[in-house]
Amino acid sequence: MPDTFDFSARRVVVTGAAQGFGRAICQAFTSRGATVFACDIQSGGVEETARLCGPSCHAFTLNVADSQGVTALFDELIEKHGPVDTLVNNAGGVAGQTGLPIEQVTLAQWQAIVDVNLTGAFLMSQAAAPAMKQQKFGRIVNISSRAGLDVSLTGIQAYAGAKAGQIGLTRQLAHELGPWNITVNNVAPGFIRSNPSTEKQWQAMGKEGQAQLIDRIALKRLGAPEDIAHAVLFFASPWANWVTGQVLSVDGGR
């Protein structure tokens, strides 16, 4: 087996591709030959990702919580490019929210975060599954968070709940889709300064809080978006052919 991954035969959908982890994942796949369909609700950002990745990356504006939009995307991809065999559900985040006491959280605030982090992963996987079943091959990688395994640094109940739910969805789909040679795995990143939201969070910690966070990490340093992309490549590669339903914490050691 080669030492480097060759994805030249793969068609890969990546959500949340306008910045941060999503952009790094798109770059990692395209640099190894894949045809990538970068999706994000932020049209300008996702178009910039496609520009940075080159001609094998195609940008789509998509709200992953819009079931009709998701169905239309996969119909278009199958018609123009053929069936998708790899899906990375990276879209997520806190939807611009900050932590509040539970009695002050509105249903709309709760739903906005659950929609992008959990419902979106469900809808995208649902749309991708039929073609993967027909091919008897597929790779789904969900990007959750340490918040799904532990307490969220954000203090946002919906974020912790949605990321934990996404991990449960990963395990359930791994068993459901396994008979068709479709693996479903999960990457749980630690805190990484990867987008405006995490940068704002980092600055709000102050020097003391930043030092405390780094001190809790075994490697005593923060990671980079490329560290998450590399974990995704592993799950999508032949090296993970017999790996499914797993959660890989990429957090520098806790």
What domains sit in the chain, N to C, each tagged with a CATH number? 11-192+224-244 (3.40.50.720)
The pLDDT score that the predictor gives to residue 147 is: 77
The pLDDT score that the predictor gives to residue 156 is: 87
Buried b or exposed e, range 112-144, using 16+ CB within 10 angstroms = bbbbbbbbbbbbbbebbbebbeeeeebbbbbbb
Kindly indicate the confidence band of residue 204, based on its pLDDT and cuts at 50, 70 and 90.
confident
Residue 249 contacts residue 146 (beta carbons within 8 Å): yes
Residue 1 has pLDDT above 50, yes or no: no
Residue 241 has pLDDT above 80, yes or no: yes
Instruction: Name which residue leads in pLDDT, 163 or 146.
Output: 163
| Residue 144 in tokens | 């959750």
Residues annotated as catalytic are 159
Please give the Cα distance from 126 to 72 (Å, whole number): 13
Please give the Cα distance from 245 to 233 (Å, whole number): 16
182-189 vs 138-143, strand pairing mode:
parallel
- Arithmetic mean of pLDDT over the chain: 94
**What mean pLDDT comes out for the span 104-123?**
96
The pLDDT score that the predictor gives to residue 3 is: 54
**pTM to 2 decimal places:** 0.94
Kindly indicate the confidence band of residue 95, based on its pLDDT and cuts at 50, 70 and 90.
confident
Residue 88 contacts residue 14 (beta carbons within 8 Å): yes
As to burial, measured by CB atoms within 10 angstroms (0-12 exposed, 13-18 middle, 19+ buried), residue 245 is middle
